[in-house]
Amino acid sequence: MASHSGTSVHVYGGGIPILVQYMEQHAIFHLQSKDTSYVIHITKQGYPAHLYWGKKIRGVQLRRLLELKERCSFSPSTDLDQLELSLDTLPQEYPAYGNSDFRMPAFQVLLPNGTTVTDLRYESHRIIPGKPGLAGLPAVYTERDDEAETLELILKDEFSGLNVVLSYTAFSDYDAITRSARLVNNGKQTLQLQRAFSMSLDMPNDQFEMLQLSGAWTRERYMHKRKLQPGLQSIESRRGSSSHMQNPFVALLAEGATEDHGDVYGVSLVYSGNFTAGVEVDQFHTSRLFIGLNPFDFGWRLEPGEQFQTPEAVMVHSDQGLGGMSRSFHDLYRSRLIRGTFRDQTRPILINNWEATYFNFNADKIEAIARTGKELGIELFVLDDGWFGKRDGDTTSLGDWFVDRNKLPNGLEDLVSRVRQLDMQFGLWFEPEMISPDSELYRAHPDWCLHVEGHRRTQARHQLVLDLSRADVQEYIVKAVSDILSSAPITYVKWDMNRNMTEVGSDLLPAERQRETAHRYMLGLYQVLERITSAFPNILFESCSGGGGRFDPGMLYYMPQTWTSDNSDAVSRLKIQYGTSIVYPISTMGAHVSAVPNHQVGRMTPLETRGNIALSGNFGYELDLSIIREEEKEIVKAQLKLYKDIRHLVQFGDFYRLLSPFEGNDTAWMFVSKDKKEAFVVYASVLQEPNPPLNRFRLKGLDPERDYKLDGEEAIFGGDELLYAGLSTPQFSGDYASKVYHFRAV
């Protein structure tokens, strides 16, 4: 490892690439990922200034990128010998408030004297091969030191003794820069953190649209764009989770940027709790982009010698539009965020009994559904809610993780054995973070839930939230879940979380630390997940929070897939899955075929279309296959055969969006293998119109020099023809129609 303070020497052996250049003469750091440059300058006063983030540049005259101009007295000069330098106009890397920058600060610390004024200056830096982990937090990782290089800028506030370590990692094979901050109290008195973002940077203009992914339960991650305006535009969650309503991601689209062309700057937070993200446009039309922990109701006591680590922000620039940005996020998250046995494996096709039976089932009914599923070609049966305690409805038993002998008189082991004898895998639903007031656990430990004395304990879905900031609660969850998973050959777990947090307080924290509860909860959850998933490496874990209420990179670090939405209606899923794909790999999305009328929206959608949309994810079924008609079973058999043929493409190929459901009646997307020898296309049309016009749609990502054969047809298509002339838009009869195309190079 090389450690530097005012030096540009790299002492690396073994062919480790230099991804972070330090140009000592000009005090400039130039980070270069695969096709991206990120440039920082340390001013002579010691302030880290942001110079550039975008398409990779050689960096011949980087110092020219910083332009300063003296403004009126309302932007105070920081240095009387350099009047054009004002923190109110300097493009900064981690700005403070109170010492002449009036814009949104990246951090704020309450000092013992009651003020919040700090003045961070550059003290030293280190350049490290590889990428260190973040203590107690999920983060993008490397498997070898030659994959990345990390810059640590050490900044110091002389008055308080606060040090801030800004970490930047550049990757040799991915177009991404990761950022985080570590705040260290090297002083002699207690400090109180009030704000600690993961990243902040100042863009030189405001000619952008801001893209966010927003929605609600059963309509998550819809795309919303707005042109930047003077002032603050932001998103946030105060719900104790990343939430259905907002996702911890924003992107800036430069003027004229489209799906395939133009500059796009995306930032994604590897965190599952309260967050904020957004942009502030100032009076000079510069844009401050930020993301991190939500300062609302947040506080953290930092005793002398202690440190606080922020979550990681992942930054992706693309000069190939939104599609290029998405594929960069997909490649990085699929390979260097997701971990474990299933990272590089295709996922099994499952049948889940929830919408087939809800709480009303017994072992014979479950076996009947599983048997039919096996006959049709399904590989995994998942037993959902209702198998434990006295769980005949949603009013009781969460926390009582022992088998309900009324439903399963011979125990879970017997049911698992019956399913396994069908040559099927067995999976199980849990909701370990919750507790029912009507439960043995609550009667024994009423203090174990989040609560504030003197106030009601607000219930949602008749349940409360366990206080995972407590070590005893963590231990209980680890033991209770582990005991069940050790009792039978279970190969899949669906980990659910069906409410947000209220009365966020902990019995074990003193008054001055109560505002730490929400973040301590997340740290406790991550510790629980780390212990359980490490102890059971051969179990495939899927996260869920009423569907997509916690679809974020933090959860994906522990569980490689997420139930995308509780809404399984195929038409609704067009927007949900399309929006989710802006950031998240298709291999992370659970997508299932359910019954009609759909249980969420009541829509009657053809089985073919329900299957065609669900094929674009980790495929499965949420209906009672034992009672469907024979002709429907033949359709299901065909869907299963097709998915087994193309799931390597869906889960690990490059994803291209062709037609947006947010812009018209038709939706199309496609998957292309990395070697461009195979492609799978999905086209869907919501409502039909009489006497429609003839039209064509173009494919993407193919090799123009190759020829391709369409499965089921003898015709040969040139890759260039498919890319530039396209295919005829299918003509449908009836609403909610769809068609799929499977191409192979010849």
DSSP β-ladder status, 492-495 and 425-430? parallel
pLDDT of 431-455, one tens digit each?
Answer: 999 999 999 999 999 999 999 999 9
Residues linked to residue 669 through DSSP beta bridges, in sequence order: 657, 682
Model confidence at 14, pLDDT cuts 50, 70, 90, reads low
Residue 2 has pLDDT above 70, yes or no: no
Residues 6+ apart with CB under 8 A from 425: 348, 379, 380, 381, 419, 491, 492
What 3 state SS string does 415-462 have?
A: HHHHHHCCCCEEEEEECCCEECCCCHHHHHCHHHECCCCCCCCCCECC
pLDDT of 310-352, one tens digit each?
Answer: 999 999 999 999 999 999 999 999 999 999 999 999 999 999 9
Model confidence at 5, pLDDT cuts 50, 70, 90, reads very low
Residue 9 has pLDDT above 80, yes or no: no
Share of the chain above pLDDT 70, in %: 98
State which H helix or E strand residue 370 sits in. Answer: helix 363-376
Model confidence at 3, pLDDT cuts 50, 70, 90, reads very low
Q: Which of 639, 526, 644 is nearest to 270 (CA)?
A: 526
Environment class of 664 (CB within 10 Å of its CB; exposed 0-12, middle 13-18, buried 19+) = exposed
CA atoms within 13 A on the CB side of 643: 31
The overall average pLDDT reported for the chain is 95
For this structure, is 566 an active site residue? yes
Helix axes 471-487, 411-420, angle to 10 degrees: 50
Domains and CATH numbers, the chain: 97-336 (2.70.98.60), 350-651 (3.20.20.70), 666-745 (2.60.40.1180)
pLDDT at 378: 98
Model confidence at 69, pLDDT cuts 50, 70, 90, reads confident
Residue 76 has pLDDT above 90, yes or no: no
pLDDT at 70: 83
SS3 state of residue 375:
helix
Residues 6+ apart with CB under 8 A from 296: 236, 238, 274, 276
For this structure, is 472 an active site residue? no
Radius of gyration over every alpha carbon of the chain, rounded to an integer in angstroms:
27
CB 276, CB 295: distance < 8 Å: yes
Environment class of 644 (CB within 10 Å of its CB; exposed 0-12, middle 13-18, buried 19+) = middle
Q: Record the tokens describing residue 367, joined without a space.
A: 């076996």
Rounded to an integer, the average pLDDT of 704-716 is 95
Residue 10 has pLDDT above 90, yes or no: no
Residues 6+ apart with CB under 8 A from 12: 2, 18, 129
**CA–CA distance, 501 with 440 (Å, rounded to integer):** 22
CB 167, CB 161: distance < 8 Å: no
Say which residue the tokens 């099927």 belong to: 424
pLDDT at 6: 39
Cα–Cα–Cα angle for 712, 715, 716, nearest 5°? 115
Residue 543 has pLDDT above 50, yes or no: yes
Rounded to an integer, the average pLDDT of 405-413 is 96
Residue 112 has pLDDT above 60, yes or no: yes
Model pTM? 0.96
pLDDT of 84-104, one tens digit each?
Answer: 888 999 999 999 999 999 999
CB 171, CB 34: distance < 8 Å: yes
Residue 11 has pLDDT above 50, yes or no: no
Residue 124 has pLDDT above 70, yes or no: yes
Residue 362 has pLDDT above 90, yes or no: yes
Rounded to an integer, the average pLDDT of 67-79 is 85
**CA–CA distance, 514 with 262 (Å, rounded to integer):** 46
pLDDT of 449-484, one tens digit each?
Answer: 999 999 999 999 999 999 999 999 999 999 999 999
pLDDT at 335: 98
pLDDT of 571-619, one tens digit each?
Answer: 999 999 999 999 999 999 999 999 999 999 999 999 999 999 999 999 9
Pick the catalytic residue from 566, 569, 654, 666.
Answer: 566
pLDDT at 8: 37
**CA–CA distance, 686 with 525 (Å, rounded to integer):** 41
Pick the catalytic residue from 331, 467, 496, 666.
Answer: 496
Residue 632 has pLDDT above 60, yes or no: yes
Rounded to an integer, the average pLDDT of 411-417 is 97
Q: What are the percentages of helix, strand and coil residues in the chain, rounded to 5?
A: 20, 35, 45
| 546 vs 60 pLDDT, higher one | 546
**CA–CA distance, 273 with 237 (Å, rounded to integer):** 8
pLDDT at 15: 60
Q: Record the tokens describing residue 144, joined without a space.
A: 């070898």
